[in-house]
Chains A and B, each alone.
Chain A
């Protein structure tokens, strides 16, 4: 097989899967589980092919001549792109395993759900693979459109419809900013290809005015997608209104995809090697300072608002806003170390947040019952397993060792300090302290309060697999973080 075909195998397979799953839905729509089985098998195959491309040596990939490839250098192969392919597939597998019992409980037909999941993963993978602003934009759009639909999947529930509509209108507006930014960056540098933009910026061959405007507008679009401070208002409503399994997927894989878009753009627009450019351009120092302020504001606002929430789903939604703030610290650091911190933290965050939301989805009852803090009083008696793993996820989200969340925060904080942003790290530590209050608060409710209601029922079904895998990963990544760190060390 030619090398390019081997390298693009995950992308090709996910495209085939996205067409196949629609046909399966159309032909065998009455079969309740065929869509699930197809999606699960498909994601596993894509995961294996991505793992295979990760074994191809970076030297062989670097030796490819972009002009002779079918992708003409618009697609990145191997490295972090392949790693994110695997991550998105894992997130999708964990989600659909939990979605099967969830939709049966909610009496909702769920075949089309798997099609939308495959589309969303296809979009995310395209984002991770893009070396060109055009593929980046198309990837973001595929992902966003799938998310708009997934958020409104319970189309008989008012809250779900509200979430979808809100997300769609605001998302379309943010897309306008993103596209305008891309157009201005193209106007300023004359190229959509990110490596070419980097060389032009390093060689000082660009129009400063338009590039500054373009970066500002693009920053707005990307900050909306990661739900960072001034553009985070949609996140709590959408995450609360959407079906819980969808929220689990959106707030983790969707955030990781938006962050990888951020990394890809930052790598092209911000010069890190000072020897390469005569001096760091003005727009770069300003943009990084703005991102630092956004990052600080995001984590403070997210954590402080999460403090007062009584609904656990809403609390986790605000905490996911705060985590976007921590993740942005890696962009602020603007160094390979910072990007690796983002990748590690995104991986850890994915498992702990999916796990926490899936515990909610298992205990949740129709019409949004059992989502309040009071409902969780004393569930350690009736559901010792669920309470124990929820406690692990909460400890990890709060960043308490020896769980995965701690090392993610550690890597990001050290990267920010090395880049000279000590004040940002201090704010991050303060806001982590604030977050401990409500994460541990939930544990207190679960373990140290008397159960005042009737015992909750829980039917886990295949969600049990999701919970066990997530817990195992949170613990293993916490004890042996070098497993992932060694892998991602040579990506940048």
Chain B
């Protein structure tokens, strides 16, 4: 077993486990901390794919900035023990889990009947994730998309302000 595969298995299992803890935990702080762990595991996975820049950004932006906001919101909401979220088992939940299993079985069956060619690596997918490589791509090949992202962010900001501002009467 190669080191890359071993790393992938450890990181993958941990990231899935922490994601499950995030959505199943009754305590919001535990959920938030599990999410931080999940982000770190993801950035580890990016590193195994030689995407250093994305890995660093993952930690800085998600684990750093966004999670601080999430934890602050949890603190300001001041959720006490009695307000811990609770959810009952109902038919909807059972059906949802059933469908998730069906989806998983479908995925697995596609893999089993149709094993991917291990040696198949498309040429341009062999990619060097340095800042320089990403910068060059972003400002030459994907320049239009880079500009379009500006409109996406502007729309998100204006929309958030619009929904959050108080009604003026």
Contacts and interface: CB of A to CB of B under 8 A. Distances in A.
Q: Do A and B come from one complex?
A: yes
B148 A112 contact: no
A136 B40 CA distance: 29
A284 interface: no
Nearest to B140: A72
A135 B145 contact: yes
Interface stretch (A208-216, A244-252, A332-340, A361-369): A208-216
23 contacts: A15-B148, A18-B154, A22-B158, A71-B143, A72-B143, A112-B158, A119-B151, A119-B159, A123-B152, A126-B148, A138-B152, A142-B148, A142-B152, A145-B155, A148-B159, A149-B162, A189-B122, A190-B122, A190-B125, A207-B120, A209-B116, A212-B114, A213-B110
Interface string B70-100: 0000000000000000000000000000000
Q: Quick one: which of B125, B140, B162 has the most chain A CB within 10 A?
A: B162
A231 B151 CA distance: 28
Closest CB pairs A-B (n = 7): A190-B122, A149-B159, A119-B155, A209-B116, A190-B125, A112-B162, A209-B114
A149 B158 CA distance: 9
Contact of A207 (B117, B145, B151): B117
A142 B159 contact: no
A19 B150 CA distance: 10
Nearest to A22: B158
A453 to B, nearest CB: 30
Interface string B112-135: 001111001011110000000000
A122 interface: yes
A365 B164 CA distance: 25
Given A186-B125, A191-B122, 10 more contacts: A70-B144, A71-B143, A123-B155, A132-B145, A139-B148, A145-B156, A152-B163, A155-B167, A187-B122, A190-B124
A213 B108 CA distance: 11
Contacts of B152: 123, 138, 141-142, 145
Contacts of A145: 152, 155-156, 159
Interface of B: 107, 110-111, 114-117, 120, 122-125, 140-145, 147-149, 151-152, 154-156, 158-159, 162-163, 167-168
Q: Which secondary structure dominates chain B's binding surface?
A: helix
Contacts of B159: 116, 119, 145-146, 148-149
Interface in A187-214: 187-191, 206-210, 212-213
B145 A149 contact: no
B154 A119 contact: yes
A424 interface: no
B144 A190 contact: no
Contact of B163 (A155, A190, A206): A155
Q: Quick one: which of B124, B148, B163 has the most chain A CB within 10 A?
A: B148
Nearest to B123: A190
Contacts of B155: 18, 116, 119, 123, 142, 145-146, 149
A191 B25 CA distance: 39
A71 B144 contact: yes
A279 to B, nearest CB: 17
A116 B114 CA distance: 46
Contact of B142 (A18, A19, A74, A212): A74
Interface residues of A, number: 46
B115 A209 contact: yes
Given A119-B158, A152-B163, A209-B111, A134 B151 contact: no
Contacts of A135: 144-145, 148
Contacts of B151: 15, 18, 119, 122-123, 142
A482 B48 CA distance: 57
B122 to A, nearest CB: 2
Contacts of A206: 122
A55 interface: no
A187 B122 CA distance: 8
A156 B144 CA distance: 38
A15 B145 CA distance: 12
A116 B158 CA distance: 8
B66 to A, nearest CB: 15
A207 B111 CA distance: 12
A115 interface: yes
Contacts of A153: 162
A141 B148 CA distance: 10
A450 to B, nearest CB: 40
Interface in A33-90: 70-72, 74-75
Contact of A212 (B110, B144, B147, B156): B110
Contacts of B158: 22, 112, 115-116, 119, 149
A109 interface: yes
B143 A70 contact: yes
A164 interface: yes
A328 B107 CA distance: 25
A45 to B, nearest CB: 17
A15 B163 contact: no
B116 A207 contact: yes
Interface in A18-39: 18-19, 22
Contacts of A189: 122
Interface in A145-196: 145-146, 148-149, 152-153, 155-156, 164, 186-191
A109 B166 CA distance: 12
A191 B143 contact: no
Contacts of A132: 145
A156 B142 CA distance: 41
B154 A134 contact: no
A74 B124 CA distance: 16
Given A156-B167, A191-B124, A207-B117, A138 B145 contact: yes
Q: Quick one: which of B116, B123, B147 has the most chain A CB within 10 A?
A: B116
Nearest to A148: B159
B105 to A, nearest CB: 13
Nearest to A11: B144
